Amino acid sequence: MKSDAITGSKAGITIAAMAAALMSVLDISIVNVALNDIRASFGTPLDQIAWVSTGYMMANVVVIPMTGWLQRRFGFRRYFTFSILMFTAASVLCGLAWNLPSLVAFRVLQGIGGGAIIPTSQAILFARYPREEHGMAGALFGLGAVTGPLLGPTVGGLLIDASSWHWIFLINVPIGLFAAFMAWRNIEQKDFEPSTERVDRYGIALLAVGMAALQYVLEEGNRHDWFDSQEITALAVIAGVALITFIVHELETPSPVVDLRVFANRSYAAATGINLMVGTSLFSGTFLFSLFLGSVAHYSALDIGLLFLKGSVVQILLMPLVGRFGSKIDGRVLVALGIVGVSMSLWTNGHLATSADEAALITPIFIRSCSLGLVFVPLSVIALSDLKPEQRGNAAGLYSLTRELGGSIGTAWMSSSLSRTTQLNVTTLTSKVDVYSQQTAEQLAALQGAMTGRVSDPTGAAYGLLNMKITAQAMVRAFNANFMVLTALFLCTLFFVLMLKKPARGVKVEGAH
């Protein structure tokens, strides 16, 4: 590729990138809401339905780091349009799936297309906008990317209530066709020549095996008791050997499928580290809070979606403002303020009780939403603006990959930790309950009186209710403890901010228009 310059209608390219990013991210959050309905439709066991998400993510993390090489091979216009159409076609097949294996197979195809969309959208916007407008480019990309998770649970709940789970996939068709049309019509690379570099077959094979095995371990490890399972242990070893060999191979080969040398740029390396921690804290924090709302506050899936929507809608207003005026402030200051704000939201989550009202539940979501707006936009600008145009496609893929991996690692970690911490708290609280104490006797008597005449065994029912109260209190303590761990972990991210270089202002980037 002699030039990575992109020309064409700036508005048209922006609409295509935002629509594609919205569709890709919307699909992930919608599917999570529909898993129970899909399981009921196919009569699938509870421990197998997770493959609907796992299959997608395994394909996703294999394709994401390869996007830079594929962009050089086929060009932004063809590769981006093909990826959108592949995602859209796979969505139709998912909507027509007749059993779980067929749905998982089509989700893998969807993941191959979807893995390219986010990093390619970001790279296209940064290539089309001049450097002094990269803040706005990052804000517009982020706007499309964050709107999906906001609308996903609500839209998914409404579609399922109005029709069936099939429509959570079929809704992608008009969006995908529109995005593909806009991309093909507006993206231009006049001086593009396909890359003639040798295909790194060994690198592709090692990456596919290593990333797929790692993602499977992270997604399924907790359900199989981690390394008590021979399958998980074997796949963890395979992932470790394959990925270590991949790194060594990519650093030595003259034509790598993933150019890891981009990490020699200090700002990019530090920004990627922050992005990893953002993924870890954001995805695992959302996972914990959703579980808290469902298991402790007893919210329905639709009510949980509406709660997140109310607390997060401020992001839609904030991101364009940060993109427009953020260049007047040192981006490192904005990132640091955002990290502190996200940590504060996690700390607030760590002090919730069973009696929390809606205002108390929305508060941490609101704080997090405002803070993430300060992190996403300047961080992507700092990460990508200092790189050469021909490096950005590869760098954007790795940048997106770290957030995805951080999310998988954090969710797997918190899922395992929550289960373990809850059990420890149940044991601790139970050991402090003396059935012969006056306080316990009074509680049992009150519960027994409430059950008398309503059940055949009021004494047994009273003990059961007391046990439920102990378990509920243990769960609240476990949620709080894990949120506090995430708070401390995310505050440590401030160390990476010190490694970021101050963004240059007003410097023209070759290949930007």
Residue 47's pLDDT is: 60
Q: Which of 158, 131, 140, 115 is nearest to 392 (CA)?
A: 131
Q: What is the pLDDT of residue 463?
A: 56
Q: What are phi and psi of 7, to 5 degrees?
A: -120, -175
pLDDT digits (tens, 9 = 90+) for 107-157: 989 988 888 888 888 788 877 877 777 667 777 776 666 666 667 767 777
* 461 exposure class (CB count in 10 Å sphere: 0-12, 13-18, 19+): middle
- 20-31, pLDDT tens digit by residue? 888 888 777 777
Distances in Å between the alpha carbon of 145 and those of 140, 152, 307?
9, 11, 19
CA angle 453-458-460, nearest 5°?
160
CATH 1.20.1250.20 is right for the domain spanning 274-507: yes
Q: Tell me, what's the pLDDT at 93?
A: 94
Between 333 and 309, where is the model more confident? 333
Please write the tens of the pLDDT for every residue from 398-454. 887 888 788 878 877 887 788 788 888 777 766 665 555 556 555 556 655 655 656
- Residue 242's region, left for phi above 0, alpha for psi from -120 to 50, else beta, is alpha
Give the pair of three-digit tokens for residue 43.
């009569």
pLDDT of residue 176: 92
| Per-residue pLDDT at 192 | 65
Q: What pLDDT does 109 receive?
A: 92
Is residue 307 predicted with pLDDT exceeding 60?
yes
- 326 pLDDT tier (thresholds 50, 70, 90): low
Residue closest to 363 by CA, chosen among 301, 289, 288, 302: 289
Domain at 9-196, CATH from 1.20.1250.20, 3.40.190.10, 2.60.40.1180, 1.10.340.30: 1.20.1250.20
Average pLDDT over residues 187-192: 74
DSSP string, 151-191: HHHHHHHHHHHHS-TTHHHHTHHHHHHHHHHHHHHH-B-TT
- Answering whether pTM is above 0.85, one says no
- What pLDDT is recorded for position 187? 85
* Of the listed ranges 14-18, 319-323, 418-422, the one predicted with least confidence: 319-323
Helix (H, G, I), strand (E, B) or coil at 196: coil
pLDDT of residue 452: 63
**Number of CB atoms found within 10 A of residue 271's CB:** 29
Q: Is 393 left (phi over 0), alpha (psi -120 to 50) or beta?
A: alpha
pLDDT of the residue at 193? 67
- Give the model's pLDDT for residue 456: 59
Q: What per-residue confidence (pLDDT) applies to 511?
A: 33
